[in-house]
Chain A
Amino acid sequence: MTKAIFLLTYLYLFVFPFNGVSQPTATEIVKKADEKMRGEKSSESTLTMEIIRPSWTRSVSFKSWSLGLDYSMVLITAPAKEKGQSFLKRKNEMWNWNPSINRIIKLPPSMLAQGWMGSDFTNDDLLNQSSVVQHYTHLLSGNDIVSGKDCYKITLRPKEDAPVVWGKVVLWISKGDYLQLKAEYFDEDDYLVKTESASDIKIMDGRIIATRYELIPADKTGNRTVLKLDAIKFNIPLTESFFSQQNLQKVR
């Protein structure tokens, strides 16, 4: 009898935790997903962005280098009119290099609300990554299947003084690999303002990641921006010094 109890206790204490049966808290889930994004220490990728509108569509291709979430460099490779332009982000400042005018311009606050390269991603979105972990309270509110994967559904509400405009954010994070596959942003009247979704999950450079990101503004029918990841390499040798204004002009 005692032997059985001892065995059971052993199992409970040591075996089952490794199976991950105990449910993580909402905050832990969000934190893990966030770390997963930041934790990719460095990466180099090629992407194509499609800006879709009811009466026209535009495609922009670019190469991107990043170090955590604080440093990134983007080089436009297509279309011809924009080719050669580059953007540098250091923490929450952004610079733009335009070879046709041979000048580096620092982005002033007045340009923040504008879409980056005309897309639905605003300059502000790219610059100010407000912390989903720090600025919100988290509540596990269910499970859903998104992009073919089983996900935790987490409802986030901003803390009192957090500098965020949303009344509510709902995140869908995949179980097991903690990929943020969908996000819905609501204003304070619980009115859906925009949706971000990730799909086309593939294995690239040894990692399972979503390769297609879509941003859909809720009340402008027919408008959306699609970002497709064509190739990515992780943990390449990059240091902070790469992300400099001199490099902004030289990068190829």
Chain B
Amino acid sequence: MIEVGILTEEQKDLLAGQEFMVDVFFNPVQDINDNWFISVEEMDQCVNENFMWVKDLELIDYEPKLFIDTE
């Protein structure tokens, strides 16, 4: 099971559009329960001193948001 780091709304706003390493940006997204999260790769690879707190985020199982594919 894939795990992801859960974010509060405020934490999501802090991370959106910010670099966590050179040339790579955080991408907070929502899971099926509308929890905001970032991936464990972003947590592990983060070297931006302003956001080192992401390494301590609580992990939850990733449950992708479902969408109706209208193809």
Bound together: no
Q: What residues of chain A have their CB less than 8 Å away from a CB belonging to chain B?
A: none
